[in-house]
Structure formats: C-alpha cells, structure tokens
C-alpha cells in the first residue's frame, strides 16, 4: 500500500439539495452521507483529509463562459431555480459547485506540486520508477461531466474534471492529461470542451443510446484533437467483464502511447448493478479492478492519479465502490486480466487501430 492518499471534501456538498425543487431527485446529499459514513467506519483508510477550497473565477473561466458562471451564481442568490428539467440550483448550490470544482483543482495541485517543491521533476514524473503513483479522491458534489462550456445540464453545474485538467495544463506545466470516465452516462461536457485539443485524451465507457445521447463509437474528436477522444458505448445490461476488457485492451494501450503526465478518473458508479438509473451489471469488484489497471498505468507513466466523484445513485453501493476504488489506488490487489470482448472490444479496436497503432 502507498503511504497515504488524499481526500478532498467540504460541508457544502451536504447542502446542495436538488430535491427542494425536484422531489425525490436522485442526486441528493444522501450520496455524500453514505460515503462519509463508510469512510469514517474504515478510519478514512488512513488517507489524509483536506478541506476543498472554492474554485476561483479564473479557474472556472478557463473552461466555462462567464455568462454561465454568472447565471448559476445569480440563480442561487435569487433563491434557486431550474436550469433544465433535471438540473436544479438552490440557495446553497453555487457554493457547493465552487467547492466541487475547487476541490478537484486542489487535488491536482496536491498531486503534482510536491515533486516541484522538493526540487524533483514536475508534471507527474517521479524518480522512483516502480513506486505507486500518488493518489487522491475529490469526494464532492454536484457532479460535473455533463456541464459544457456554456451550459449546465444533467445534474452538473460546472465541469469539475475539465476545470482541474485545464488548471494542470495552464499552471502546473502538464502537457498531457488522461481523463478516463467510467460513469454510465457519456460525459458530453468533457468531450466537447476538449474535442479539438491534442493535450487531453478523453476516454469514456458508457451506456450507448442513453442520456445524454452522445458519445458514439465513431466520434474520435476533431481537428487537433482527432484521435484524442475514445468513445466506448456499451449496451444496457452489460457486466463488468465488458467494462474491464475495454479498459485493459483499448484504453490502456491508447493511454500508454499518449504517455499522460496526469491521470484523472471521472469516477461515476451508476453502472453498478444496484443503481436505479444505470441499467448495467457492473459489480463493486469490477470498479476496483479498473482502478487497479489505472493505478498500474500511473505507475508505468509515473503519473499521479486523481479520482473525481461523478454519478452513482444507490448510496450503499456508491459508498462501497468509492472505498474499493480508493483501496485499489492505494495498492490493494493486482489487476486481473480479462479476454477481449468479441463485440465491444473488437469493434473499438477495429476503429482505433489506425489512430493508435493497436492491433485489432
């Protein structure tokens, strides 16, 4: 196990409550309450807890249009309102969204800056070739991966992972960031923000023909970002072997060629079999094994790994998955290889072979 990981949290994550405007909204404070209770029972796994700061306007504005930032702030100040049919802002939502994005930024700073402070190479490199990557988890809400540059949607106000990735590039000397998104919903916001960028590799495993209706297999980005988007849609009811095979046989080879200096995971757990929204059959141990694969990629690339909470709407399953992911990132267990899936893996490799040189 690694010496310690970092947990970023903030009380405002308990105060954003869409259910005030949309009764029985699934993205509720119960999610964080369940995670906190499970972590406390496990003595926080020995990880260091840190308070998430609010994101600055400059950090948000690198990714989001000022008009969106102002609209979310104004709506909260006015007492709340609906941004779309399922995205609510309450009086405390702007503060929670600032800390969710700010916590992701603080996580990235903490993962990257110790090396620079010690006079060692920055941007995720490490002198210890076989050391486990430094790891952390931003356990904050609201989630972010649906938020586009100019639009909040899908429970998301600001795009926490995108804001953090852009911070790493703009301020911390990082040239290449991998964002692996395993939420059951496609992270349309992250994909669009980095669509034409060559410095961010965005890989998403998600249920196809599902909300928000984006992320087809043949969308590989555009312009300078052609080949820097890997969309891996799967069918409803798919289990963990399919998801793990896509990570092992598609994402990892592509990411290895890309050689990221920072790895971020948009860690949604709504593909879990117990989740009421996802309609997939992934188990807790499958998420743990995907995290082990990411950990080993970080070890090979000497890149730190930061997980940022996205979806997951069955509180107990969500808490179990967060703890299992944290344990895996800290060094628990070894990845268990799975064979290529004859449908989804082979289809992806047939498309991505020319871009990444991965033999189908």
Mean pLDDT of the chain, nearest integer: 94
The mean pLDDT of 257-269, rounded to a whole number, is 98
- pLDDT of the residue at 357: 72
User: Treating both helix axes as pointing N-terminal to C-terminal, what angle do 66-77 and 93-117 enclose, rounded to 10 degrees?
Assistant: 130
- What is d(CA 182, CA 180) in angstroms, rounded to the nearest whole number? 6
- Please give the pLDDT value at position 3: 57
- For 35-52, write each residue's pLDDT tens digit: 999 999 999 999 999 999
| pLDDT attached to residue 115 | 52
pLDDT at 126 over 50: no
129 confidence band (pLDDT: 50, 70, 90): low
Task: Report pLDDT digits (tens) over 58-109.
Answer: 999 999 999 999 999 999 999 999 999 999 999 999 999 999 999 999 999 9
Q: Is 64 a catalytic residue?
A: no
d(CA 141, CA 162): 15
Cβ neighbours of residue 235 closer than 8 Å, sequence gap 6 or more: 207, 208
∠ CA(136), CA(139), CA(143), 5° rounding? 120
Out of 146, 185, 186, 272, the active site residue is 146
* DSSP per-residue string spanning 33-98: HHHHHHHHHTGGGGPEEEEPPPPPHHHHHTTS-HHHHHHHHHHHHTTEEEEETTEEEETTHHHHHH
Per-residue confidence band for 121, with pLDDT thresholds at 50, 70 and 90: very low
Residues 161 and 264: beta-carbon distance below 8 Å: yes
Is the pLDDT assigned to residue 296 strictly greater than 80? Answer: yes
Across-strand partners of 49?
Answer: 7
Extended strands (E) in the chain: 6-9, 48-51, 80-84, 87-90, 135-138, 177-181, 200-207, 229-234, 262-267, 305-309
Q: What's the whole-number mean pLDDT along residues 201-214?
A: 98
| 95: its two tokens | 């503060």
Instruction: Examine the pLDDT at 127 and tell me if it is beyond 70.
Output: no
Going from the C-alpha of 229 to that of each of 81, 107, 242, the distances in angstroms are: 34, 24, 19
Domains and CATH numbers, the chain: 6-356 (3.40.800.20)
Minimum mean pLDDT among 1-5, 141-145, 265-269: which range?
1-5
């Amino acid at each position: 196990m690694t010496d310690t990981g970092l947990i970023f949290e903030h009380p405002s994550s308990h105060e954003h409550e869409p259910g005030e405007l949309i009764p029985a909204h699934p993205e509720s404070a119960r999610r964080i309450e369940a995670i906190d209770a499970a972590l406390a029972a496990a003595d926080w796994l020995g990880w260091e807890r840190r308070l998430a700061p609010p994101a600055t306007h400059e950090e948000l504005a690198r990714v989001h249009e000022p008009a969106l930032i102002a609209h979310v702030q104004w709506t909260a100040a006015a007492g709340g309102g609906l941004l779309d049919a399922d995205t609510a802002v309450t009086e405390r939502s702007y503060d929670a969204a600032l800390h969710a994005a700010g916590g992701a930024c603080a996580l990235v700073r903490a993962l990257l800056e110790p090396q620079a402070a010690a006079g060692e190479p920055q941007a995720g490199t490490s002198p210890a070739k076989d050391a486990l990557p430094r790891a952390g988890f931003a356990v904050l809400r609201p989630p972010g991966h649906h938020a586009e540059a100019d639009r909040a949607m899908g429970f998301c106000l600001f795009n926490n992972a995108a804001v953090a990735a852009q911070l790493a590039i703009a301020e911390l000397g990082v040239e290449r960031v991998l964002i692996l998104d395993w939420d059951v919903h496609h992270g349309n916001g992250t994909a669009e923000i980095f669509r034409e960028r060559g410095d961010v590799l965005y890989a998403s495993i998600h249920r196809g023909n599902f909300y928000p209706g984006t992320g087809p297999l043949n969308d590989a980005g555009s312009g300078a970002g052609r080949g820097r988007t890997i969309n891996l849609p799967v069918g409803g009811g798919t289990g963990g072997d399919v998801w793990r095979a896509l990570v092992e046989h598609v994402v990892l080879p592509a990411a290895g060629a890309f050689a990221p200096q920072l790895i971020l995971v948009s860690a949604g757990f709504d593909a879990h079999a117990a989740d009421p929204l996802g309609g997939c059959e992934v188990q807790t141990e499958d998420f743990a094994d995907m995290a082990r694969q990411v950990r080993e990629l970080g070890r090979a690339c000497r890149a730190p790994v930061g997980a940022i909470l996205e979806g997951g709407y069955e509180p107990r399953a969500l808490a179990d998955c967060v703890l299992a992911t944290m344990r895996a990132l800290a060094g628990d267990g070894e990845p268990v290889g799975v064979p290529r899936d004859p449908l989804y893996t082979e289809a992806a490799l047939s498309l991505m072979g020319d871009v990444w040189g991965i033999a189908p």
